Amino acid sequence: MDDRHEPSLYLQTQELTSALLVNQVFEPEGKLESITCDGTCHDFYMMIFSAQRAWNRPKYTHTFATFVKARSAATDETRTERGLALNPCSPRGSPLETHTISWLAANKKVCSFRLWPEQGFNFDLAASLEWALSVQSRISMWGPFEIKSALYAQACRY
């Protein structure tokens, strides 16, 4: 199934990507299922990016992922006597906590046939996108996909 032509999905994806790049708040459409802990709701997302030139040379190819945690406070209406939420919290207007896994050569010059290993560095999303644009690569993005908190926690270890 190809979701590229869904206008609402495309706009929501653009909003999340823009919010990540300029440290703004993300306001998704609709209600999402949330995890509630101590009156705070958390929603977790993953976006996968690829950068490559038309001829797909390894020197100009890179894949990286950004993991997002959106926080929002639960309203009193969603709490029960046991502290459980009846309705999911909305991450609308919530601050974003992001983590990107994007390992490249520290000098940002990929050499496929180097005889010796070279030092790598985990770049953030903005630096990864800047690198892709600097080598004139085409950038593709898949997501955002809602993920479980365990996957987000595992991604933060890298």
36 touches 87 (CB < 8 A): no
State the DSSP code for 88. Answer: P
> Which pLDDT score, from 0 to 100, does residue 46 have?
95
Q: Is the pTM of this model over 0.75?
A: no
Give me the tens of pLDDT residue by residue for the chain, a chain 158 residues long: 344 444 433 444 455 555 555 555 555 544 444 544 455 678 899 999 999 988 878 889 999 999 999 876 555 454 455 554 445 555 556 678 899 999 999 999 888 888 888 899 999 999 999 999 999 999 999 999 999 989 999 999 87
